[in-house]
Amino acid sequence: MASTKTEEKRYYSISEVSRLTGLEPYVLRYWEKEFPSLKPRKNRGGNRMYTTRDIELVNRIKHLRKKEKLTIAGARSKLTMIKTGEEQQSVKVSARARTLISQIRKDVEDLLRDFS
């Protein structure tokens, strides 16, 4: 039942994205300034509303920064470069998998908290 909840959810708060990605909210806000393609919507109260696509992009940026050890500028240029179809598909699948794993982890944590 918990997976249905995450599949139906269209928007995530910055704290949920922080929990899903393991990044602090200030890092997410900073990356918004540095990566033009990362632009979560804001509600009337000014709160960020991230989509699954935004979370996948955050995971791609995190991979470039942490695993490939790229600087912000390097990660930005790699994201904007025109990639081959195979490389682009590989990056998307990898980011999507990390997003799904994060959502499953969050669901398990929520279930454990409910049963504790």
For residue 3, the model assigns a pLDDT of 46
Among 1.10.1660.10, 3.60.15.10, 2.60.40.10, 3.20.20.70, what is the CATH number of 2-115?
Answer: 1.10.1660.10
- Residue 83 vs residues 29, 70, 91, 92: alpha-carbon distances, Å: 26, 17, 10, 12
pLDDT in tens, 61-91: 999 999 999 999 999 988 877 455 556 677 7
Q: Is 16 exposed, middle or buried (0-12, 13-18, 19+ CB in 10 A)?
A: middle
| pTM (two decimals) | 0.68
Q: Where are the domains of the chain?
A: 2-115
